Structure formats: structure tokens, C-alpha cells
Amino acid sequence: MSQFRAGQGKSSVSRRMLLKAGFAGALNCAFPRAGLAAPAVLLPAAAAGNRRFTVLYKGGKIGVHTVLYSSETGETRISTEIHLLVKIAFFNLFAFSHRSQEIWRDGRLASLDSDTVEDGEALHIEGTATSQGFRVMSKDGPFIASATTLTSNSLWTPAVLEQETVVDAQHGGIIGLSARKFTDEQIIIAGRPIRATRYSLLTPYLAGSIWYDEDSLWVQGEFERDGSKIEYRLDM
């Protein structure tokens, strides 16, 4: 998920909610909850889990978001790429690109390596599982997250919606996350109806809805920014 900042209107995510989300992350980092052993994340089969979304803003295509899996003995490699560009005439209002690679072993995040360029600013994030927890290094220095943490790129699994905080794979640090499950509904994907479960989602960067099919695969997203809708339309 990316921090989308096109336009100068007031964001649908209120300042108060953003502060609460950031504060929740700070508290969780400083005072980790003891005695909670989160279950291992169930990873999809490599080919079935691959996702490619066309990203639409105000009805027009602004980019793509892809998630690709590859498995080797004992580990799964998850690659995420996001490329967004908003233009008016010959002017770029917003440019964002992100590439990351996560390695998962036994349903746990083992490492993270990501590069982001947002409006010309380059950011690099690295993370490694250690005996103390998941150690992340960004421009603000190192910090330790929970050993069972997920990242802001983990929208590929509904397990991310059970988290109160996640590692920000694009900007570093820990961010708060709030979600709520709604009833199942029928939606149209690639011209055919499917059953999917809708969840509300709120982070410092996104507010909206996300859908998963009966196999817990991410199939659709609708988010709000500056009073306009950002749509994720599944291509594969």
C-alpha cells in the first residue's frame, strides 16, 4: 500500500485517526504484548497467489500493483512492485515506485528488502528475523518489531487484517492498522461473478475496503483519497 498524495484536498483519513494509528504503533513497539503466539501465516500456492492489479484514480489508470510468489526448499519468496504516476497535461502531480522482496520460512517473515522512490525521494528498508524479534533498518535507524510481524505489503493475505500494527515496508517504522469484517457478497472479477468477503481497512495511508475470495486470495480494493476513489482491479 502506498502513500498517495495527489491533489491538495483534505484526506478522508483524519489527522486524529492518523495520530492514533501512529501512537498505537509506537506503544506496540515500546511495550510488546507478552504471551501472544500468533499462528503461522498460510502462504498461497505460488502460481495461484500471483496478483496483478490495475490501479485507477478518478476513473483513469494511474499504474499497476503486482505480487509474485516463487518457492524453493524451505522458503517462499514474495516480490511486490507498485508503479503509480498521476499527470495533468505534461506535469507529473505524483510519482511513486516501489519494489520489495520478502522471504518467508515456516509461515514467518524471515527477511525484507525494499526500495521506494516517492516524488524523487529514495528510501531503502531492510529487515531480518533475529532471536530478539524482526530487526528493521531504515533512514531513521534500527528498531525491533515482533517476531510474528507482517508488513504493509501483506495485503495478499487476510491475516494482515488481524494485526494491530505492521512494519511499513515502504517508509520504515511501524504503523497502526484497523480492520473490520463485513458479510460475504458477490462481485464481478474479470467478467465473472465470484463470492468474496469484504473488510474495511484503515492505516495512516489508506482508508477503504478490500475483498478476498473463498481461497483467501486478494481480489479487489477500493480506497479513498482527497474525496476520490482509488480502485484496484484484478488482472490476473
Quickly list H helices, the chain. 15-30, 46-49
Contact (CB, 8 A) for 81 and 50: no
Contact (CB, 8 A) for 235 and 54: yes
Spatial neighbors of 23 by CB under 8 A, at least 6 apart, are: 176
Q: Identify the residue whose cell numbers are 500493483.
A: 65
Handedness of CA 49, 124, 130, 176 (dihedral sign): negative
Return the pLDDT at 31: 35
| pTM of the predicted model as reported, rounded to 2 decimal places | 0.82
The dihedral formed by the CA atoms of 140, 82, 162 and 221, expressed in degrees to the nearest 10? 140
* Cα–Cα distance measured from residue 23 to residue 95, given in angstroms and rounded to the nearest whole number: 28
Contact (CB, 8 A) for 27 and 210: no
CB atoms within 10 A of CB 77: 15
Return the pLDDT at 11: 38
Exposed e or buried b per residue across 81-98, where buried means at least 16 C-beta atoms within 10 angstroms of its C-beta: bbbbebeeeeeeebbbbb
* Cα–Cα distance measured from residue 47 to residue 17, given in angstroms and rounded to the nearest whole number: 37
Written as tens digits, the pLDDT of the chain (236 aa) is: 555 544 433 333 343 333 333 433 333 433 333 334 567 888 887 778 899 999 998 889 999 999 999 988 889 999 999 999 988 877 777 889 999 999 999 999 999 999 999 888 999 999 999 999 999 999 888 999 999 999 999 999 999 999 999 999 998 889 999 999 998 999 999 889 999 999 999 998 889 999 999 999 999 999 986 677 899 999 96
Strands 141-145, 192-202: parallel, antiparallel or unpaired by DSSP? unpaired
Return the pLDDT at 162: 93
* Cα–Cα distance measured from residue 167 to residue 137, given in angstroms and rounded to the nearest whole number: 11
